[in-house]
Chain A
Amino acid sequence: AQSVTQPDIHITVSEGASLELRCNYSYGATPYLFWYVQSPGQGLQLLLKYFSGDTLVQGIKGFEAEFKRSQSSFNLRKPSVHWSDAAEYFCAVGGVPSNDYKLSFGAGTTVTVRA
């Protein structure tokens, strides 16, 4: 079965500093990978997704993620964090042939931004 691990439950970062959120997946073939963000009291918003091709994916709000097949990872990065980036971030994986519509989500990483 597919699964997603986000090793960091909570990360605190200073405004203007770089941010990296880790995501590891378990899946037997090339997965479809997603990063979503959830601001307080809101639903989830898609930041970026990877299906195939270039392994470095650009998303909204200045985020990017890199797919590394050898490490089964899809880490999210942002060079300079803004206070509005404080939120919960979810990595998700899909693409199991018998479950084309389903996504499996990680437990999430909460990001706190300090001034």
Chain B
Amino acid sequence: AQTVTQSQPEMSVQEAETVTLSCTYDTSENNYYLFWYKQPPSRQMILVIRQEAYKQQNATENRFSVNFQKAAKSFSLKISDSQLGDTAMYFCAFMKPLKGGYALNFGKGTSLLVTP
């Protein structure tokens, strides 16, 4: 089974600063997808960014970018110019494509607090 580890239960950053959330995963697969999801108090999981394992280029979505190190099985999320609305739980997730379907394996999450 694939496992996803987020070693930082809680983090805090000041508005406009940059913060990096860590994620490592364990798999023997070569082709897979990685995701970061955000879960604000409204409970809805919101897709932040997606990375395909066969692509060496790191994904970027506006203020959000990842550092994908396939050999090290590391997938960190960098949030630049942090905003108060970024306060939320952040989950790293691994998805392996299979013939029978797909499922996301989530880490335990990192609670991010952005302060004024």
A is bound by B = no
